[in-house]
């Protein structure tokens, strides 16, 4: 049990280091579009997430409504068969598991960040999504104006 | 020993939460001067540090040369009697302990961030300064251009 705690602590430290590296990339960028692009590029390159997709349009979000049940908190999980086609189309390759991060904008609007991997176990159901919430809050700040 | 680990873990989590709140403040600001000002304001208001002083001028840095022996890493410690007068003058009140964060700029330049408190035990000698290093890297990024 102690070993599990230490492992969790190490994973947590690594996440925080990665988040810090992401923050530095965003701070180095000038202007909102470049900063938002750095969040996505940092998730790809620092966190090693193969597919990173940010949508501010309602059209694409509709396609996710069967996947995302709670629009206020991030979540993770393997991809259902019915969602495979649309996800693969967007990603350009098969997606085995995804994480999603809702980003509230204004009174009723929202953006949605999707992270995906071919690996079905990369974003397991019910994993800790604390860092995703922090990334979501960064995006919310950047997209607010 | 386990209790000490848990305490350290909790303190670490709190630091990371505070650092995240600081990052959001900086991201909300527009332009380098406002972003740098938010780093300092966030250290005051989020971390509760009474005195936050950032200098990019060599003149003031000379006055610290007896305090800061290593110009590459952050440090902490109680204030020596010989440093009291200058510190109190700058802060407008007595300073019992300080932390300092050197920020390398260009090839030979540097800025220096000072954090101070009347409390002699607030920044004890040899404490973990990991979050200060992260704040220093944020400032380095913001002051680089």
ipTM of the modeled complex: 0.89
Cβ distance B138 to A24 less than 8 Å, yes or no, reads yes
| A2-143 CATH fold | Beta-Lactamase (3.30.450)
Judged by average pLDDT, the poorest of A10-19, A71-80, A99-108 is A71-80
Q: Quick check: B67 pLDDT over 80?
A: no
Q: Which of A9, A24, A141 sits opposite B141 (nearest CB)?
A: A24
Gyration radius (Cα) of chain B, Å: 15
Mutate to test the interface with B, among A8, A11, A16, A22 (most CBs of B within 10 A): A16
Locate B78 and state its tokens.
């109680």
pLDDT band of B43, cuts 50, 70, 90: very high
pLDDT above 90 covers a percentage of chain A that reads 50
**pLDDT at res. B87:** 84
* Structural domain boundaries in chain B: 2-143
Cβ distance A138 to B9 less than 8 Å, yes or no, reads no
Q: Which of B2, B27, B137 sits opposite A142 (nearest CB)?
A: B27
For residues A126 and A119, give the distance between their C-alpha atoms in angstroms, rounded to a whole number. Answer: 16
**pLDDT at res. B65:** 61
Cβ distance A27 to B144 less than 8 Å, yes or no, reads no
C-alpha pair distances (Å), B106 with each of B141, B143, B144? 11, 10, 7
Mutate to test the interface with A, among B6, B7, B13, B23 (most CBs of A within 10 A): B23
Q: In this complex, how many residue pairs, one in chain A and one in chain B, have their CB atoms less than 8 Å apart? A: 33
Q: What is the mean pLDDT of chain A?
A: 86
Residue B51: φ, ψ to 5°: -125, 120
């Amino acid at each position: 049990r102690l070993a599990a705690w230490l492992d969790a602590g190490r994973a947590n430290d690594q996440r925080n280091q990665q988040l810090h590296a992401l923050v530095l990339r965003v701070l180095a960028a000038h202007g909102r579009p470049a900063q938002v692009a750095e969040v996505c590029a940092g998730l790809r390159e620092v966190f090693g997430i193969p597919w990173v997709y940010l949508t501010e349009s309602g059209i694409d979000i509709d396609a996710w409504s069967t996947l995302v049940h709670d629009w206020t908190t991030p979540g993770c999980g393997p991809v259902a068969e019915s969602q495979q086609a649309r996800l693969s189309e967007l990603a350009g390759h098969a997606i085995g598991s995804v994480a999603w991060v809702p980003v509230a904008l204004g009174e009723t609007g929202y953006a949605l960040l999707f992270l995906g991997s071919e690996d079905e176990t990369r974003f397991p159901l019910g994993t800790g999504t604390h860092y995703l919430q922090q990334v979501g809050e960064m995006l919310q700040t950047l997209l607010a104006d």
